[in-house]
Amino acid sequence: MEGPRLSGIGMTSARTRERLVQRLQEQGIADRRVLDRIRNVPRHLFMDEALASRAYEDTALPIGFGQTISQPYVVARMTEALLEAGEVRHALEIGTGCGYQTAVLSPLVEKIYTIERIASLLGRARRTLRELRIRNVNFRHDDGNVGWAARAPYDGILLTAAPHAVPPALFEQLAVGGRLIAPVGPDGRQELYRYTKGDTRIERQSLGPVSFVPLLSGLQR
């Protein structure tokens, strides 16, 4: 099974991937490391085969359970925003989803700790990342609102679902000098922010309007 998946639809069209990378550059993505990851991560492996022909479009697509695989531009922008201000050794990801954002980030940091509230999605992401031989990820089935205190502090935190306000526990688990990237706000009025934690205050910078699924509480099988 692994052979056909790795050589299947989407893998054979380098031009399709190159067009996606070119589009991201035109939209302002400049970090070569991030562009290389978008080029090289096989996005079609993170979605159902029925949608694989659309894998390299710059659009969000459904992955089941009311969730989506994020638009490549948004994944690239969030990753770039996290890395712009310096090295990130330990990163916390809230909302593993299908694992695509995890895969893009994985070689750019030392270790990723990722949390997903939907067990079936987490299992699927774990299998896909294992298939791609991505080894520096620790997985947890839990409520992302509470973070992963045992592994804190984190140099970077990414939220792939939108809270109305960033949960205080996540700011507490962010290292001084660390960055937290999060879409914030209700449906239809979300803004992507980068928060930088100082010694006495947290600075916030807007990165533009976005559309994400909401950050929910509780666990789901």
- pLDDT at residue 115 is higher than 90: yes
- Strand order across the 137-141 sheet: 137-141, 111-116, 90-94, 154-159, 174-184, 190-197, 202-210
pLDDT, mean of residues 204-214: 95
State both tokens at 152. Answer: 């804190």
Known active-site residue 53: no
Average pLDDT, the chain: 93
pTM to 2 decimals? 0.92
pLDDT value at position 13? 74
The answer, yes or no, to whether residue 173 has pLDDT greater than 90, is yes
SS3 8: coil
Convert 58-108 into a string of H (helix), E (strand) and C (coil).
Answer: CCCEEEECCEEECCHHHHHHHHHHHHCCCCCCEEEEECCCCCHHHHHHHHH
Contact 34, 104 (CB under 8 A): yes
Which entry of 7, 13, 70, 217 is annotated as an active-site residue? 70
> What is the dotted CATH code of the domain comprising 62-210?
3.40.50.150
- Crossing angle of helices 14-26 and 32-40, rounded to 10°: 150
Lowest mean pLDDT among 5-14, 47-56, 120-129, 203-212: 5-14
168 in Cβ contact with 157 (< 8 Å): no
